[in-house]
Chain A
Amino acid sequence: MTPLAGYLLVAALLFAIGLAGALTRRNAILVLIGVELMLNAANLNLIAFWRYGPHPEALTGMMFAIFSIAVAAAEAAVGLGLVISVHRHAQTADLDQMNRMKG
Chain B
Amino acid sequence: MSIAFWIIATLTVVAALAAVLLRNLVHCALSLSLTFAGLAVLFLQLDAQFAGFAQILVYVGAVAILVVFAILLTRSSETPKDGGVFSPTWLAGLAVAAAVFATVAGAIVYSVNGLPNAQAVPSVTVLQIGQALMSRYVLPLEIVALLLTAATIGAVIIAMHEKPATKIGGAK
Direct A–B contact in the complex, CB atoms closer than 8 angstroms: yes
Chain A residues, Cβ within 8 Å of B54 = 66, 69
Chain B residues, Cβ within 8 Å of A8 = 108, 115
Looking at chain A's contact residues, the main secondary structure is helix
Given contacts A13-B101, A40-B39, A48-B46, contact A78 B20 (CB under 8 A): no
Chain B residues, Cβ within 8 Å of A52 = 115-118
Residues 21-55 of chain A: 1 if any B CB is under 8 Å from the residue's CB, otherwise 0?
Answer: 10111110110111011001001100111111110
Given contacts A29-B70, A63-B132, A83-B70, contact A24 B87 (CB under 8 A): yes
For residue B17, give the distance in angstroms from its CB to the closest CB of chain A. 6
Looking at chain B's contact residues, the main secondary structure is helix
Among B62, B74, B93, contact of A29 (Cβ-Cβ < 8 Å) = B74
Among A6, A37, A83, contact of B1 (Cβ-Cβ < 8 Å) = A6
Chain A residues, Cβ within 8 Å of B58 = 69-70, 72-73
Give residues of chain A (71-103) contacting chain B, Cβ–Cβ below 8 Å: 71-78, 80-85, 87-88, 93-96
**Interface size classification for chain A:** 35 or more
Among A12, A27, A48, A74, contact of B25 (Cβ-Cβ < 8 Å) = A27
7 contacts between A and B (CB under 8 A): A14-B35, A27-B25, A32-B67, A36-B32, A43-B39, A66-B129, A80-B67
Query: Which residues of A pack against B, CB within 8 Å?
Result: 1-10, 12-21, 23-27, 29-30, 32-34, 36-37, 40, 43-44, 47-54, 56-57, 59, 61-63, 65-67, 69-78, 80-85, 87-88, 93-96
3 smallest beta-carbon distances between A and B, as pairs: A21-B20, A23-B93, A16-B101
